[in-house]
Amino acid sequence: MKNIPTDLLRTFTTIKDLNGFTSAGDALGRSQPAISLQIKKLEILLNTQIFVRGSHLELTADGEELYKLAAQILQLNDSLIEKFHSDTVYGKIKLGIPNDYELAFLPEIIKGLTNRYPNILIEVDCDISKNIYQKFQKHQFDICLAMQPLEEFSGFSPENYLIEELKWGYTQNLSLQGKELPLVTYPNGCLYRKITEKALTDANIPFRIVYTSPSLLGIVSAVEKGLGITAMARSVIPRQLTSNTFLSEDLPNMDKVGVGFYYRESELTSAGKLTLDYLRAGLRSLRVDDLPIELSKYCS
């Protein structure tokens, strides 16, 4: 009788949960070649193909069935371990994050984390980065993700931050009346707003603020209605705002920024360290993805 090692099943389900071999490797502390080797071993053991060859993480019919069964097996395994171990991982983690990055990767990452560690509770607060960082300094968060000028991340470990290029976003519905360029922005204090205003001023392009909202969905809705243009990080700007080119030659380039994690290493619990590992994997997924996100994927 053959036995299926649970570490192979855990690797497989983590790949599915985090949508990537590299992200799974980050979460499990293994290299991508090691992750690929484990999947190969699992396929040989079960005498089947799990992933559709040539596709981006699409499961075969057997792979879909295996995922359901593997999740049940791992849940039973983890429940058994928790029952007989006093060091079960549990706790509440307070996380601060800008709402555009929340939509970009957080739901899928938290789903994978809480499926694996059901006793970890994540409490999320969304705001502009300036406010999030100030709250972190007041010890209101265990971990926060904040956007800062790139020089602020000097000395940071590469796994803790991402260099972002800002992109202009607008649609064919844009109504240009008068000599001033209409801007749709986040509230005052937002780094996006500061950089766009500076870029337009330096380029001698007159502008006016026509709509301000703290919500990503509010910003996107206003831009889609043609109220004005906006700017966001390349990895999180919705696709529907970047498919237009009629203004591209008239708009200036903007300074790059950094977005990264702030935390106090000595104060992180086991639950906090696990959460941080998963969050790093989520941020890394934005680094390797060359396409802007489809907002509807996260809002359906």
Residue with tokens 């389900």: 13
What is the rounded average pLDDT of the residues 91-107? 92
**Is 60 exceeded by the pLDDT of residue 300?**
no
Helices (H), 47-128: 61-84, 99-116
113 and 120 Cβ atoms separated by less than 8 Å? yes
Q: How is residue 135 written in tokens? A: 């709250």
pTM greater than 0.75: no
Query: Which three-class secondary structure state does DSSP give residue 92?
Result: strand
Question: What's the CATH number for 86-299?
Answer: 3.40.190.290
263 and 272 Cβ atoms separated by less than 8 Å? yes
Confidence of residue 289 (pLDDT cuts 50, 70, 90): very low
CA distances from 110 to 103, 117, 276 (A): 12, 10, 11
Cβ atoms within 10 Å of 12's Cβ, excluding its own: 25
The tens digit of pLDDT for each residue in 17-52 reads 888 888 888 888 888 899 999 999 999 999 999 998
Q: How is residue 299 written in tokens? A: 């809002």
**Is 90 exceeded by the pLDDT of residue 206?**
yes
Kind of pairing, strands 230-233 and 166-169?
antiparallel
Domain ranges of the chain: 6-85, 86-299
Bridge partners (DSSP) listed for residue 124: 95
263 and 9 Cβ atoms separated by less than 8 Å? no
Confidence of residue 80 (pLDDT cuts 50, 70, 90): confident
**Is 60 exceeded by the pLDDT of residue 291?**
no
Q: Which residue has the higher pLDDT, 136 or 53?
A: 136
**Is 70 exceeded by the pLDDT of residue 288?**
no
**Is 60 exceeded by the pLDDT of residue 54?**
yes
Which residue, 119, 128, 230, 116, is CA-closest to 169? Answer: 230
**Is 70 exceeded by the pLDDT of residue 294?**
no
The tens digit of pLDDT for each residue in 226-276 reads 999 999 999 898 888 887 777 777 899 998 999 999 999 889 888 898 899
In the prediction, which pLDDT does 135 show? 96
In the prediction, which pLDDT does 296 show? 33
Dihedral in degrees, nearest 10, Cα atoms 112, 115, 120, 126: 40
Class of domain 6-85: mainly alpha
In the prediction, which pLDDT does 221 show? 93
146 and 260 Cβ atoms separated by less than 8 Å? yes
Confidence of residue 298 (pLDDT cuts 50, 70, 90): very low
**Is 70 exceeded by the pLDDT of residue 118?**
yes
